[in-house]
Structure 1
Amino acid sequence: MTRVKVCGFTREVDLAAAVAAGVDAVGLIAGVTVETPREIGLADASRLAATVPPLVSTVLVTMPDDAGEARRRIERVRPDAVQLHGLDPADVAALADAPADVIAAVDPTDPDLDAYAGAADALLVDSIDDAGGGGTGETHDWERTREIVTSLDVPVILAGGLTPENVATAVERVDPFAVDVASGVEREGGVKDHDAVGRFVERATRARIAP
């Protein structure tokens, strides 16, 4: 069954609703260099992470300058995993002993995919913008991502433009380890639509993988 991560929480009430809906992971965006209504401070990320019950993973989504800064942010927030945007494969590899699983955010056309796959615990394949951030709300070539899933020996998380309306089709075509959504389940920037979150989780987890 495909796992589900919902990203970009700013309010505890939304996070609790997502947990009740059955998400596997929640993403907290802190320390990024792009404009987003979903960014919170590291202190708030730590506070929200502490409210997440056992068996639901917390993911710090961040854009550090280097591995050292990433490590300091991990120690501050204490997430189960860190999702890194903008670091090269060498910096990602330098976090192999960090107290969190390491997810590298990549564009499906990135020429360093093999290097990232060797350095990270998982890849998040997203529609990356020029500034290196995801969360664009735009889909990318799912057939290319399916090729990545089948060719690389690392869990692949599909992100980019997913909604309750298209997530089942995305799962059927790509067969990812997990799917990730932010703006696709929001009423407004940074505020989740609880009904949309529930529909997204249900449709993602019930989708059948195409042969």
Structure 2
Amino acid sequence: MPNNARTRLKVCCISTSGEAATAVACGADAVGLVAHMPSGPGVIEDDLILNIARQIPPAVATWLLTSRTTAREIVEHVLTCGTNTVQIVSPIDPGEYQELRLDLPASTRIVQVVHVEDEYSFEIAQEYGRVADAVLLDSGRPLENELGGTGRTHNWDLSRHIVEKLDVPVFLAGGLTPQNIIEAIETVKPYGVDVCSGVRVNGRLNRTRLTEFAAAIACT
């Protein structure tokens, strides 16, 4: 796990230019833009993702969340949406990464989601940690087509074990709120954290809750 002077903040499920501006103003290091998913919140059309991504300052990363599962489809999706990072939310064959590296722009970072369900998740994370630029630990259930945005936490002890063993940055997601984020960071020690529902009220990004969340991160 790379040395981490501070915990990075990714604000996910951004659905409007206004939400993006709020996230940036509150100190987000990255914004997540959710394309078509079988389940979960925050889904927007690809043309809106492109529009929002173009408005984000260069210092803030733009993450496309894609549920596509082949290198060809993922590359096409990234090029359509114009983001500088792709978050692959579905389990894919690690062999697809070679083609991804060849066909994506060299500057595009690839983040693989691993849903922490049991001890086997550690083996999955290790495998993806050899090919991805970063791994994001979430609380979905891929076999039930649940790929994120659950608002649930998972076993943070398992996540900590993954963080300790991987050589790439690891982000923690799943049910994070202003109330539990300090405990989450102190337990898992991730490179970064990813928040969606925990900083929203009635589905909308809430500046007060996001400010509280960011302030709590700064205390760790």
TM-score (norm 1): 0.93
Aligned 8 A contact 1:126 1:134 in 2: yes
Kindly provide the amino acid, as one letter, of the partner of residue 11 in structure 2.
V
Kindly provide the amino acid, as one letter, of the partner of residue 174 in structure 1.
V
For residue 36 of structure 1, report the CA deviation from its aligned partner. Answer: 3.1
Change (3 A) 1:193 1:168: same
Query: Among residues 162, 168, 171, which one is paired with 2:185 in the alignment?
Result: 171
Separation of aligned partners in 1, 2:97 and 2:187: 29
Partner of 2:164: 150
1:130-149 matches, cutoff 5 A: 130-149=144-163
1:89-100 matches, cutoff 5 A: 89-97=94-102, 98-99=104-105, 100=108
For residue 93 of structure 1, report the CA deviation from its aligned partner. Answer: 4.3
Q: Does 1:66 align with 2:70?
A: yes
Separation of aligned partners in 1, 2:160 and 2:152: 17
For residue 128 of structure 1, report the CA deviation from its aligned partner. Answer: 1.5
For residue 201 of structure 1, report the CA deviation from its aligned partner. Answer: 1.2
1:1-211 matches, cutoff 5 A: 1-32=6-37, 34-86=38-90, 87-97=92-102, 98-99=104-105, 100-108=108-116, 109=118, 110=121, 111-129=123-141, 130-189=144-203, 191-207=204-220
Aligned 8 A contact 1:92 1:116 in 2: no
Aligned 8 A contact 2:140 2:148 in 1: yes
For residue 79 of structure 1, report the CA deviation from its aligned partner. Answer: 0.9
Separation of aligned partners in 1, 2:41 and 2:155: 26
For residue 80 of structure 1, report the CA deviation from its aligned partner. Answer: 1.5
> SS state of the match for residue 94, structure 1?
helix
Residue-by-residue CA offset, 1:131-152 (whole Å, 9 max, x unaligned): 1501111001111111111111
- Corresponding residue pairs, total: 205
Aligned 8 A contact 2:115 2:137 in 1: yes
For residue 204 of structure 1, report the CA deviation from its aligned partner. Answer: 1.4
> SS state of the match for residue 177, structure 2?
coil
Separation of aligned partners in 2, 1:37 and 1:146: 26
> SS state of the match for residue 27, structure 1?
strand
For residue 66 of structure 1, report the CA deviation from its aligned partner. Answer: 1.1
Change (3 A) 1:94 1:53: same
TM-score (norm 2): 0.89
Q: Output the aligned Cα RMSD.
A: 1.3
> SS state of the match for residue 69, structure 1?
helix
User: How many percent of aligned residue pairs carry the same amino acid?
Assistant: 37
Residue-by-residue CA offset, 1:83-123 (whole Å, 9 max, x unaligned): 00112322244312422100000023324222111111000
Further displaced range: 113-122 or 88-97: 88-97
For residue 206 of structure 1, report the CA deviation from its aligned partner. Answer: 2.1
> SS state of the match for residue 4, structure 1?
strand
Partner of 2:3: none
Separation of aligned partners in 1, 2:96 and 2:208: 39
Gaps of 5+ in 2: 1-5
Gaps of 5+ in 1: none
